[in-house]
Structure 1
């Protein structure tokens, strides 16, 4: 433990002598350089170069004080109260601006602040990286070196005559200042002010340099009856602690086997209150102003100052100076690390990315070290981003990591639990034991992944029978049914909603142009029917587009093209005579029937005979005559049969007329004439 304490003390001592880098963003050049906290008793005076500010008198109530300022313009007398200021020699020609900041009637002293207006010493100075500016002769030997630049910032190393260095990181358009120490107690703040006009990453930086109008660094306090500041015997001290201290915490410092404790009582924006103990004995309380110089602790070989305070967290950064060899026992604090995991939105479509955010925060007083964050990846998700673990060297108390983002892609639909974040770390107490701490976040649950099933759409029309092609007449009603089938899947997470068929109808049919279908779940088939009225003749193609919303409400559409055809054009009959010739076996019979049905078959018979004659190898006139006789017999027989058939029809007709009206009225003369003529014809 002693070895660890020694190492900590050595680290603090090295840290105290290392140059500090201050990021400054002030865009306004300060009006004054100032020396604060100057304590004067009656007849005491503060001397700054050729100027003297002396406290010469006070009223009986210690409410109004008199000061005399001596300088190149002669002595001037001022009477002021607490909080009031006066300038020397005049407001339009200021060298000094003195403020009475506090009147202490109990100690018969006054606290004053001496300010001198800043004025531009160097204008538009250009510096490349590595270049150095030295203040002109007559000023302290202060050097300003440009060490690095970027497009927005420049870094300067300022070296002061007494060996101290200060690093300023200045943003373009802003400035930074350097204080100058005036002995062991006081300092001249804003003694050098650097205003960065412009900078580039590969070019020079341009600056203006400001110094106070009264730039003397010869400063002293002359007490009544003395011509110079009385020497004081001081114990050489070093910085042994420069870190946080929380309210009610007691920091142990051991000097020559005696343990002192520094306890933080309260913290405000401008000052803190501490109580110092020697063992169990209280040595009293002290008020330390933010940024003030180290103050001696009464009856203890310690000096204290405060760098900053954070009242919201009830803490402050305390600097403790003690003799060489002093040991500080670190305060072991426990970190309180919490992790949170979330995803927005928690409902996504299959194929989309799920963006998961992890937040890690330390709510405890102790820092966390070697912090490792592991993100959960469930089985049904793929990691899209490159990172699923993060590591941090330190997570200070009351700080929060930037959000850690990673991306997952789901591989199936359903409701899923992503899981818990795992955080491992050490803190002050676990470092002592060597036992790593592990904490878990609340699980991320209820992530829903939806999908869209494939939709197949067919249609059939009915006009007597069902089919994709039907015929109809103008004025007919034709029923069309649309069959929508969703592919198999999980019906709870794969479906479409607000499905509607938009029909593209020509003016030859009348019917609805939008048909609501509603929700179609995976594995489900829905049928909707629509009636169309045929208005005119046309070959009508019914086209459709299916519009629908996915489970998250996003609009989609599916082009279906032509689904059914309705033909309302009537058929046209085209008569065309096509000659049909009998075969060789049928030819004789055909000739016989043809000649028999002719009124005068003789010319045709002669032509047939002439044709037949060409193909007879030997002319047999008897045979020819026999054939002709046979043909003529057939012809005359056919004619005889025809005349007989006609006579029979006429006889039957006459018989019907003869027996039509038995016992009726006498026939008219024209009827008798008609019958007589028919008989004559017969």
Structure 2
């Protein structure tokens, strides 16, 4: 086996920079490409090769070649670091070293490309279609069509026609839909097409359309080995991505590896996040820290934990966990915390005035709420003037709130009335229907419009500089 020369290690000191995500809408990736030493994978006009490894199997040399065989770029990478292709100034995509599997002498890489705007403010009328351009960034892309089958005030139904299948979806205003592109039976480019719904009416919808900056669908594994495939028989190597989601401080992820159960606990969240691995009897096996953008391979169990990102404000981390094939991970079920409040423009008004009512609905819990519906009654003595806002929502994610709901009431008679409570019905992550209200009703008073008159009267029948009254109101 080749060893890295000393000059290469010196090069590492100057060129090793972790990949930093941009402020774009995200990136598309082809994950879990497995290569043995010397093997390569073709991606568009480039060939990516696992060229060399150091003696300790902690850093790999990645080389990228052009179609004519010339070397485009190369870099020595430890786990979690990326190589920009063709260069750092204007990268089309990145080669990220996801993990080094020392025991079977392979590496896992991901090919990642930032999503870029193809066309903004694309208006598609109901029953019309939009065809993606023939080329994007000088790369020929497959024929993909987006047809709008129905539109509403806040959402649109779309049919996405790919060369090999048709996908239907409903996209809500202010949300997106991500479409993968199947490259082989084992690999996909995800998300390849990214549709963001900016505006929806009953007759048309307006989208921003995104594709990867390098939108090629040419993908082929090198010959002469098991590159790009996963071992067919279950083994003890952590090669399968079994968890790719968030965890909160204090949570445990239950992992069953071929009948042996473990619990991975997240202790603290930060640039260095702290974890503890427990056995089935809750005995701690190992406590360890993972730096953002890197991974940690456990010797106590065939597990790899990668810390992708973290949010200190919500005490949560974005993780990838790798384990042997056949591993089962129990989903973490979290509870939403729905809070609803009501306020008004006034609590006292005249009969010919109008009353504005504001409703705020927020999920301050860690769990997701589905099929959220807001119900507000019209009190006696009032009639509905108008309403603004969406009174139902498919999903209310943790630490988010619905747009403020506003409606107008007009009083029809004088008196004292009670407004509310407002009721919110939803389903938690277990599928159980829940209900919460805004609490005590608000007291509203409606007054009649007074009619006032003033009269003056001269006393003693004489007029002077002043007018005197005889104790009359």
Q: TM-score range by the shorter chain?
A: 0.5 to 0.7
Equivalent in the alignment of 2:250: 248
Is 1:54 aligned with 2:49?
Answer: yes
Is 1:352 aligned with 2:347?
Answer: no
Q: CA, structure 1 residues 267+167, in 2 after alignment: closer, same or farther (shift >3 Å)?
A: farther
Mapped to 1, the partners of 2:113 and 2:371 lie a distance apart of 47
State whether residues 371 and 426 of structure 1, in contact with CA within 8 Å, keep that contact through their aligned partners in structure 2. yes
Q: CA, structure 1 residues 205+375, in 2 after alignment: closer, same or farther (shift >3 Å)?
A: closer
Mapped to 2, the partners of 1:142 and 1:191 lie a distance apart of 13
* Residues 215-294 of structure 1 mapped to structure 2, 5 A cutoff: 215-220=216-221, 226=225, 232-233=231-232, 246-250=248-252, 278=280, 280=282
- Comparing both chains, which one has the higher relative contact order based on Cα–Cα distances under 8 Å and sequence gaps of 6 or more? 2
Q: 1:409 aligns with which of 408, 411, 435?
A: 411
Q: CA, structure 1 residues 404+71, in 2 after alignment: closer, same or farther (shift >3 Å)?
A: closer
Is 1:180 aligned with 2:178?
Answer: no
Map Cα deviations across residues 206-252 of structure 1 (whole Å, 9 max, x no partner): 99997877835332266xx84855661167xxx99999865434466
Equivalent in the alignment of 2:3: none
Q: Higher strand proportion, which one?
A: 2
Equivalent in the alignment of 1:157: 159
Mapped to 2, the partners of 1:408 and 1:345 lie a distance apart of 12
State whether residues 96 and 110 of structure 2, in contact with CA within 8 Å, keep that contact through their aligned partners in structure 1. yes
Is 1:421 aligned with 2:421?
Answer: yes
Gaps of 5+ in 1: 1-27, 471-477, 485-523, 527-682
Equivalent in the alignment of 1:11: none
Map Cα deviations across residues 541-590 of structure 1 (whole Å, 9 max, x no partner): xxxxxxxxxxxxxxxxxxxxxxxxxxxxxxxxxxxxxxxxxxxxxxxxxx
State whether residues 309 and 317 of structure 1, in contact with CA within 8 Å, keep that contact through their aligned partners in structure 2. yes
How far off its partner does 1:146 sit? 1.3
Q: Report the TM-score when normalising by structure 1.
A: 0.41
* Residues 26-37 of structure 1 mapped to structure 2, 5 A cutoff: 35=30
Equivalent in the alignment of 1:441: 439
* 3-state DSSP of counterpart to 2:353: coil
Q: CA, structure 1 residues 132+399, in 2 after alignment: closer, same or farther (shift >3 Å)?
A: closer
How far off its partner does 1:457 sit? 0.8
State whether residues 261 and 277 of structure 1, in contact with CA within 8 Å, keep that contact through their aligned partners in structure 2. yes
Gaps of 5+ in 2: 1-23, 235-240
* Residues 282-321 of structure 1 mapped to structure 2, 5 A cutoff: 312-314=313-315
Q: CA, structure 1 residues 273+189, in 2 after alignment: closer, same or farther (shift >3 Å)?
A: farther
Mapped to 2, the partners of 1:405 and 1:120 lie a distance apart of 37
Is 1:74 aligned with 2:69?
Answer: yes
Q: CA, structure 1 residues 42+286, in 2 after alignment: closer, same or farther (shift >3 Å)?
A: farther
Equivalent in the alignment of 2:382: 383
Q: 1:481 aligns with which of 449, 467, 471?
A: 467
Q: CA, structure 1 residues 423+199, in 2 after alignment: closer, same or farther (shift >3 Å)?
A: closer
Cα RMSD, aligned residues only = 7.0
State whether residues 385 and 407 of structure 2, in contact with CA within 8 Å, keep that contact through their aligned partners in structure 1. no
Q: CA, structure 1 residues 274+151, in 2 after alignment: closer, same or farther (shift >3 Å)?
A: farther
Q: CA, structure 1 residues 261+362, in 2 after alignment: closer, same or farther (shift >3 Å)?
A: same
Q: CA, structure 1 residues 356+119, in 2 after alignment: closer, same or farther (shift >3 Å)?
A: closer
Mapped to 1, the partners of 2:114 and 2:362 lie a distance apart of 46
How far off its partner does 1:113 sit? 5.8
* Residues 533-552 of structure 1 mapped to structure 2, 5 A cutoff: none
Equivalent in the alignment of 2:19: none
Matched residue count: 422
Larger Rg: 1
* 3-state DSSP of counterpart to 1:421: coil
Equivalent in the alignment of 2:457: 459
Q: CA, structure 1 residues 66+303, in 2 after alignment: closer, same or farther (shift >3 Å)?
A: closer
Mapped to 2, the partners of 1:232 and 1:286 lie a distance apart of 29
Q: CA, structure 1 residues 77+361, in 2 after alignment: closer, same or farther (shift >3 Å)?
A: closer
